[in-house]
Structure 1
Amino acid sequence: MKLYTPREEEEERRKGVSTKLGLRPYYPWNMKKKLTKSDLGHQSRLLLSKDLIDEYVKPVMSVDSFDKIQSMEGLKVSVWDYDTDSVQNEMVFKKWPSSNSSYVFIQSWRNDFVKRRNLQAGDEIAMFWNASYSRFNFRVLNKNSAIPPAAPKF
C-alpha cells in the first residue's frame, strides 16, 4: 500500500481523480417518491419520472426488457414487497403513452399496494430494479403521519 504525500493528494484532487480505494455503503432504495392523490386514485397507476428510470433502471435492465417497457403492451413484472416479504406478480410497467417524461405501473397497483398497505397521499415509497431476480423491490419509507384537522363543531 502506498502512502501519499499531501502534495500528491492535492495533485489528484486538482485533476479530479483518486487512486485511493474506499468502501461506500450499499443503499439500493434509490427511486423514491412521495405518493400523490393521482397515484392512489381509481385509475390504479403509479407514475414514476423518466429521470428516475433512465438513471436507476435502464442501466441495469436487459435491453430486451427495456424495449418491452417502451411498447404499448409494456413489461409484466413481479414486485417484491420488502416490508411484508410478499411478491405481487400482475403489474405491468411501461412508458406512459400520454407523456414522454413518465413511466407507469398499472393493473394491480391499487389492490396489491394501495389498499393492501393502506397507502395515503404523502407516504414516501422507494423502489429499485433487482436485476438478479428480474423484479422490482418495493418498500414504504415513511407513512404520512399528518392527521387532517377535525371539522369545527357549531
Structure 2
Amino acid sequence: MAQELDLELGLAPYDPWVLKKNLTESDLSRYGFVILPKQDFEKIIPHMERGLVENLGNGVEVKVHIVEEGHESDDYTLTLIKCSGRYMLRGGWYNMVKAKGYKTNDEIGLTWDKWTRRFLLHHIN
C-alpha cells in the first residue's frame, strides 16, 4: 500500500512534543504514576520497537531523558505499561516529578527518540 506524502508547507514553528499533558494532582500524588493521553500516545507507538510495544501489557522499562534549558539534563528509568486500555508511566515517576519540582497544571511534552530508544520529556510551562 503506497503512502501519501504531505508536502504542505506551513509557517507554524516546529513542535517536537507529540504528547502534551497538563499535570493534575493525581499525576503528582504518591500513587506514583501518570496516565498518558491515549490518542496522543498512540501516535508515538509506530516509532517504537515491536518487542517493546508487544510487552506493554506486562510493563517495560524505558529511559526518560529530561530536556532542560542550559547544559544540565537528567535521565530516569521508568516503567511504561498498558493497563485497562490506558498507557501510564510509573515505577520512578513520583521520584522524578518530586526531584524536578513539577506542580499541578504544569505542562509537559513527551516524544520518543527512536535513535536513542528513549523518551524525551520537557517541562513546557
The TM-score range, normalised by the shorter chain, is 0.7 to 0.9
- The structure richer in strand per residue is 2
Matches within 5 A, 1:105-124: 105-112=89-96, 114-124=97-107
Q: 1:29-69, CA deviations, whole angstroms, 9 ceiling, x for partnerless residues?
A: 121000001100011101102211112x1111111111111
- For structure 2, list consecutive stretches of 5 or more residues without a partner in the other structure: none
State which of 11, 23, 35 in structure 2 corresponds to 1:35: 23
Structure 1 residue runs of 4 or more that deviate by more than 6 Å after TM superposition: 17-21
Q: Which residue of 2 aligns with 1:8?
A: none
Question: How high is the sequence identity, in percent, across the aligned residues?
Answer: 27
How far apart in 2 are the matches of 1:94 and 1:18? 32
State which of 60, 64, 75 in structure 2 corresponds to 1:75: 60
Q: Which residue of 1 aligns with 2:118?
A: 135
- Structure 1 residues 29, 19: closer, same or farther in 2, change over 3 A? closer
**TM-score, normalising length from structure 1?**
0.69
Q: Which structure is larger by alpha-carbon Rg, 1 or 2?
A: 1
Q: Which residue of 2 aligns with 1:61?
A: 48
How far apart in 2 are the matches of 1:129 and 1:19? 21
2:35 matches 1:47: yes
RMSD (CA atoms): 2.3
Q: 1:70-114, CA deviations, whole angstroms, 9 ceiling, x for partnerless residues?
A: x22x1101100101412112x00011x2x32x20001111112x1
Deviation of 1:21 (Å): 7.2
How far apart in 1 are the matches of 2:7 and 2:90? 45
Letter in 1 for 2:124: L
How far apart in 1 are the matches of 2:6 and 2:41? 31
Contact in 1 for aligned 2:81/2:88 (Cα 8 Å): yes
- Structure 1 residues 93, 22: closer, same or farther in 2, change over 3 A? same
Larger RCO (CA within 8 A; separation ≥ 6):
2
- Structure 1 residues 43, 26: closer, same or farther in 2, change over 3 A? same
